[in-house]
Every structure is written in structure tokens, then in C-alpha cells.
Amino acid sequence: MEKSYKKIDAVIEKMQEVLEVIREQDAEFYAKYPMSLITEAEEQDVHTVAEKWRLPDEYLYFLQHYVPESLGWSTDDYINLDIYGARDIVQGQLGYNYNPVTNEVIPEWPASYLVIASDEGDPYCLDLSRGDTVIFTAEHGTGSWDFDVAYDNLEQFLHSVLLPRSSEDGEPGQTEDYDYYKVFITGEGNDKIKTLLFIKKTFSCDYAQAKAYLSALPVQVFKGIESYARKIETDLQSIGADYELRQIGFGEFIAAD
């Protein structure tokens, strides 16, 4: 018989309530770009994950009852946080513990760390060697992973997505408007070495992996809000790399690549 976790049930119910409010605020938009949160995962998806990793019971229960559909969470702390369901979590490890371009394990990644969510590339992880649900995070693109504790447990982490976005000029909880962009490297540019070093830093990979990315152009190096995209554009201009800055709609922003 499945063990009940009433606190997890309660926070998932609250997530559904918040999502309903978001949809009602712009019913026409979300009819075109639907988001939903289902509370019964496919048995095979849960079985696959449970066979692959030894997960804390509380987190496994969460996966059984949290099935996001094109759903991201935006608050003052998150740009667009994707919390993975059982169907998405295997794919969510790519680029962190495994390089899909070279089909190689990434040795710099801590072997016991499982990415359960990502905010514009910044991973949120469980350390499966601990057996608990302490959440660790680190900034991506710095050249190495420097993890810190973000939340003491899964419940705290889930509650963090329910905080409304504030605005200095508006009412508390008012949602800010953003323009969204993708940035691609399209060629090696004036200095191939500098372009390779940029890729190496962005993907926290070794030189051979960076060369593999460069040989498979175009390579997306960013997706997110304009201010960050413009900063990356400046960096690419400074090294003379060939690049494309492409504005995208919110639907493409929240869609999985």
C-alpha cells in the first residue's frame, strides 16, 4: 500500500491552485499554450525511474503525483524553473552527468547527484548518497560545479515556487513582462580557440567535448530573458564568434528544446 505524504499532497494541491490563477489571468494565451499539472504519473514512467536510481521514498511519492505539462515556475528567485516529472527526469540529466553530443559520461559531475529541476541551466539536485531530500544547487557556466544547500528538504523547495513575483513599481505579486531570446553560436568566428573556450565554459565540458559542440553547429548556448541574452551577445562579440540572437515567444520559451 502506498505511503501517504500529506505535506507533499498539500503543496501539489497549492501548485494546482496557483496554476489555475495564472491560466485565468490570460485565458486566451493559455488556451493557445496550455500548461497543466496532472497528479497521477504513468506507472511505467515511475517504474523506469525507480529501477534506475535508489530514490528517497518522499521524492518517489512526489514523482508519482506530479506530472507537469509545459509547466515552468517564475518567481523573484527563479527565471523559469522546470521541475521534472518521472517522464522527464532521465532526459533532464543530459548536459550534466552525460554529454549527448559525444555519448560520454561527464567526469566533473558528482556521481551521486540527481538533477530534479533546472532554472535556465542552474541545476537543483538531490544527493542520492544521503538518502534524504536536501536540495543542492550551483551556478552553471562557471567552469566548475560549486554546490551549496538551497533548501533543507523537498517540501521547502516546492513551497519556494509558490511565492508570487513582486514588482517595485506595482502591486505585490504582479507578474513582470519579459522579452525572451535564444542565442546560438553559428560559426567559429575570428578566433576558434576563444570560441572553443567559451563553449567549454558554458557547458562545463572538456576541450574535446567543446570541439564536438563546435562541429555540430548551430549550438544553442542560452534561452531566457533579454537582459541575460544581451550579456551573452556582448561576450560573443568580444571574442569575435559568429552567433545568432533570436527573439522567441513565451510559448517557445516554456517549451522543452
Q: Residues of the chain with pLDDT > 70: what percent?
A: 90
Whether the CB-CB separation of 93 and 78 falls below 8 Å is answered with no
pLDDT digits (tens, 9 = 90+) for 95-123: 899 888 888 888 899 999 999 999 989 99
pLDDT digits (tens, 9 = 90+) for 33-58: 888 999 999 999 999 999 999 999 99
Q: Is 219 helix (H, G, I), strand (E, B) or coil?
A: strand
Spacing of C-alpha 17 from chain mean position? 22
pLDDT digits (tens, 9 = 90+) for 158-212: 999 987 655 444 443 343 456 788 999 999 999 999 999 999 988 888 889 999 9
Whether the CB-CB separation of 168 and 150 falls below 8 Å is answered with no
Q: What angle do CA 45, 49, 51 make, to 5 degrees?
A: 115
pLDDT digits (tens, 9 = 90+) for 230-239: 889 999 999 9
Which residues contact residue 215 at a Cβ distance below 8 angstroms, ignoring those fewer than 6 apart?
none
Average pLDDT of the chain is 87
Nearest to 242 by CA among 214, 202, 222, 223: 214
